[in-house]
Amino acid sequence: MGWYKKNFLGGLVGARTSALLAGGGTSTSPIEVSSANKNFLGFWVENSATSGDNRGLYLRQYLAGAGGGGEALRVFSTVSDVAAGTVHGAHISLNFGTSGTVTGTGAAVRATLHIPATALSSNVTMASVYAEIWSDAATSDPGGSTKLSYFYVNNGGNATGGADVDDDVVLFDIQGHTIATGNMVAASATETNYSHSVKVRVNSTLYYMMLASAEG
């Protein structure tokens, strides 16, 4: 494990780390543990305020150098040379107590892309959600039986509750858009324009969503 010391929070801090404020270990010399069901960092917090935006963690990075880039948060799970079980790069949940509810919007993940009050550079890629599958090498192969997808939609949990969800849920909820020619959503006048399809999977059956080659 190398040499470590206690920091003011009582945690282990590696002697070799690229973290400026707090941290431990490096990509080649990580802090190691062999015990199951352990969290390297754990914070259980509660806020009883009845108003305001109350957060368990607030992290904001200002990029002040022209040409610089990066992320306010970069999370990376690596499966080493083992056959791991269930693995997620990040798992974010919103749940409720016995009588808990929301009166506004409840979302497990909210991704907001802010468009500034100025014209942005042309020919750039902008998206509120960027779903990417990255092949590390020419030999990258998910396997013929792997259920590979950009989005996995699962109605899980209690079967009775799930049946009620199945009655109410929609795949997309599009708000703030007007149905009109030239807009994101346009009315279709003829089915002869439907010339392409997108493959989707419902349970274990493949289906094809129709695409139009022209608007309307």
Domain boundaries, the chain: 1-47
Indicate the residue type of 156: G
Q: Express each pLDDT in 150-167 by its tens digit.
A: 999 999 999 999 999 999
Burial class for 24, CB neighbours closer than 10 Å (0-12, 13-18, 19+): buried
- For the chain, how big is the Rg over CA atoms in Å? 23
Q: Express each pLDDT in 206-215 by its tens digit.
A: 899 999 888 8
| Distance of alpha carbon 216 from alpha carbon 186, whole angstroms | 6
Contacts of 175 (CB under 8 A, 6+ apart): none
Residue carrying structure tokens 């349970």: 203
- pTM for this structure? 0.81
